[in-house]
Amino acid sequence: MESKTFLDSLPTNFRHEKSFFNKKNLFELEKLSNLSDLDINEIQTKSPLCSLNNLKKIRAIAIFKKEIAISPPEAYLLLHCGIGSIKSLSLSTPYELERKIGRLERSLRVKVGTEITFSLLKKWIIKAKQIN
């Protein structure tokens, strides 16, 4: 059985970035979360199919996973709701996040596949405040 890496859990729209990282054997959560803006710009220059926006999202998802133990699908959802960093998460309230997730679900006309409860949102925010 093949072990699943952090990159395997990302959506298919990250296929070019995942391919680049796999070719470079750069799939460890620690390394991905520590990518600097300079590193991201270099990757984008070396591999034009990798989008700058997606590379930054991968870094943000890795940071959420590493620092707060948020799963990649949940972190991706936070990004879609406008929460792109631990600082912005720490400044949010569970009510705000719940409202943003609900608005996103209504605008996409789909129910989010993850079980995100009010208490889970509160736990994430508390962890983010401790880090900040």
Strand runs (DSSP E) across the chain, as ranges? none
- Residues 117, 104 share a domain: yes
The pTM (predicted TM-score) of the whole model is 0.89
Whole-number pLDDT of residue 62: 95
- The C-alpha angle with vertex 70 and arms to 68 and 75, in degrees rounded to 5, equals 120
What are the backbone angles phi and psi of residue 45, rounded to the nearest 5°?
-70, -40
Radius of gyration of the chain (CA): 15
Place of tokens 């796999």: 22
Specify whether the CB–CB gap between 75 and 38 falls below 8 A.
no
Specify whether the CB–CB gap between 122 and 59 falls below 8 A.
no
pLDDT tier at 49 (50, 70, 90 boundaries)? very high
pLDDT tier at 2 (50, 70, 90 boundaries)? very low
Report the run of H or E that residue 121 belongs to, with start and end: helix 118-131
Model confidence pLDDT, tens digit, residues 86-102: 999 999 999 999 999 88
- Residues 76, 64 share a domain: no
- Residues 64, 107 share a domain: no
Average pLDDT (24-28) is 87
- Residue where a domain terminates, one of 42, 68, 94: 68
- Residues 91, 32 share a domain: no
- Residues 121, 78 share a domain: yes
Closest alpha carbon to 58 in 38, 72, 41, 48: 72
Distance CA 28, CA 12 (A): 19
Average pLDDT (90-116) is 84
- Residues 77, 53 share a domain: no
Whole-number pLDDT of residue 1: 37
- Residues 130, 113 share a domain: yes
- Of the two residues 114 and 117, the one the predictor is more confident about is 117
Model confidence pLDDT, tens digit, residues 66-88: 999 999 989 988 999 999 999 99
Least confident of 1-5, 8-12, 82-86, 111-115: 1-5
The residue range of the domain holding 57 is 1-68
- Residues 122, 103 share a domain: yes
